Amino acid sequence: MDKMVIEGGFPLVGEVSIGGSKNASLPIIVSSIMFDEFDSEIDNVPGLEDIKTIKKLLTSLGAEIKESDEPDKLVINTSGINNYDAPYDLVKTMRASVLVLGPLVAKYKKARVSLPGGCAIGARPIDFHLNALRSLGAVVEVDHGYVEVHADKLKGAVINFPIPTVTGTENIIMAATLAEGTTIIKNAAMEPEVDDMIFALNNGGADIKRVEQSIIVVNGVKKLRRLCHRVLPDRIEAGTFMTASAITKGDIVLKNINVQHLKAIIDKLSEAGAKIIINSSSQLRVKGSKAIKSVDISTAPYPNFPTDMQAQMMALMTLSGGLCVVTENVFENRFMHVAELIRLGANIKVRNNFAIVKGVQKLSGAEVMATDLRASASLILAGLASSDGLTTVSRIYHLDRGYEKMEEKLSNLGAIISRVKENDIPVVDEPDFNGSACSKSA
């Protein structure tokens, strides 16, 4: 296992190009299951561990991942799919594997997918996904840790999610795409990644409309044509590099982004004192301020401040000039980074779903351990701002799930950071939220 070694205290300066969105790539890649007449071509796919996992899963179902002429282009042929079973060892490493449920049931009227189990950041059940499939007429049984779904046919229905669920919305959109009749999804997730998937499916012959902010209408079609799409930029990778500039008092230009998806992050970083100059719809510049202001952070579904940026913003707040409250409203256990930030000298107290962060003068390098994807990013940011001593972040396989060439991009901005082999200390999978080992799940 690798770890990252950082000598902090240097402002990051320069330009960085942001990759394609992990959380848009995953549903769009699995939607290729519904397009079996032609090769599916998906561009701007980031080179991440999670992408490798979903490719492995599709191959295990019988799909063929073809060679492509560009590194970020994925070509998939799904005409050979003859297996409808997503096994535990794959699903437990990446919960988003449950996204195969919708397209498999839509196309083949059956699927058997392992329950993903709990995770470092919360129990993360999929009951909303399963109840919605039942509303479409599917028979859903849960037995021996697996979800078995089959349906003679899927018929449109009205789905009303109790709370917005991103992959739940995506799963049901895919299931409804080939169903008979119209499906109305209420309290649908509003994340841009959902709309990117809708755009891709509609270009391939589907009939899906977001008629109101949180209402999506799907008119089932008999057949789809061809999936050919370029994935939108990753707003969380963008937010992470914006925060890197703020925490190191740097000056970074971000390219290949979608500024309109970053409003909540731009507003919050500006409130904290960063100077943000928008050069165009796909480029902005972030200049860190000498004094970081304390700002309260409260996560909520899009378009509000994203839970996937909570850990990164908390790192920034550890060096702010006062006291702030970070409230995590989406997941029940997304403060695993707090104990590690405290090891770097931060002053944070957690009470239920909120953390009280009292800014300190400086952070000092230490050995810390990544526990989940965004926690690993938070620790890297804190290490970059630690002005004395080296910071080593272990278990960075978490980081590799959602960030491509992170150390390369940071080094190009002036960071002193390198990836080294973890010394061979045997590592036992840390227990997850409900006790089963899921050291790599997010």
Positions in the binding site for ligand EPZ (CB under 6 A): 22-23, 26, 95-96, 122, 124-129, 163, 165-168, 189, 307-308, 330-331, 373-374, 402, 442
Nearer to ligand EPZ, 115 or 253 (CB): 115
Q: Which is nearer to ligand EPZ, 31 or 320 (CB)?
A: 31
Please identify, using beta-carbon distances, which residue of 19 and 402 lies nearer to ligand EPZ.
402
Question: Where does residue 18 rank: exposed (0-12), middle (13-18), buried (19+ CB within 10 A)?
Answer: buried
Q: How far is the CB of 268 from ligand EPZ (least distance, A)?
A: 16
| List of residues 6+ apart from 415 with CB closer than 8 A | 6, 10, 12, 248, 384, 407
SS3 of the chain: helix, strand, coil, percent, to 5: 35, 25, 40
Cα 207 to Cα 273: distance, rounded to the nearest angstrom: 44
Instruction: Please report how close the Cβ of residue 94 comes to ligand EPZ at its closest, in angstroms.
Output: 8
The nearest distance, CB 100 to ligand EPZ, in angstroms, is 12
Q: Are 78 and 63 in contact (CB under 8 A)?
A: yes
Distance in angstroms (rounded) separating the CA atoms of residues 86 and 97: 8
Instruction: Tell me the CA distances in angstroms from 352 to 143, 326, 356, one per residue in order.
Output: 33, 11, 11
Q: Which is nearer to ligand EPZ, 10 or 241 (CB)?
A: 241
Closest CA to 302 of 185, 423, 187: 187
Q: How far is the CB of 210 from ligand EPZ (least distance, A)?
A: 16
- Least distance in Å: CB of 378 to ligand EPZ? 11
For residue 441 the two structure tokens come to 């799940």
Nearer to ligand EPZ, 118 or 220 (CB): 118
Residue closer to ligand EPZ (CB basis): 165 or 371:
165
User: Rounded to the nearest whole angstrom, what is the least distance from the CB of residue 438 to ligand EPZ in the complex?
Assistant: 13
Residues 355, 325: Cα–Cα separation, whole Å:
6
Q: Which lies closer to ligand EPZ via its Cβ, residue 174 or residue 442?
A: 442
Which is the catalytic residue, given 119, 228, 324, 438? 119
Mark whether 228 is an active-site residue.
no
Smallest gap, in angstroms, from Cβ of residue 303 to ligand EPZ? 12
Q: Are 322 and 309 in contact (CB under 8 A)?
A: no
DSSP string, 138-178: -EEEEETTEEEEE-S--B--EEE-SS--HHHHHHHHHHHHT
Do 91 and 97 meet the contact criterion of CB atoms below 8 Å apart?
yes
> Whole-angstrom Cα distance, residue 292 to residue 271?
9
Structural tokens at position 64: 């063929």
User: Residue 383 to residues 299, 389, 390, 415: CA-CA distances in angstroms?
Assistant: 24, 9, 8, 10
**Residues labelled as active-site residues:** 119
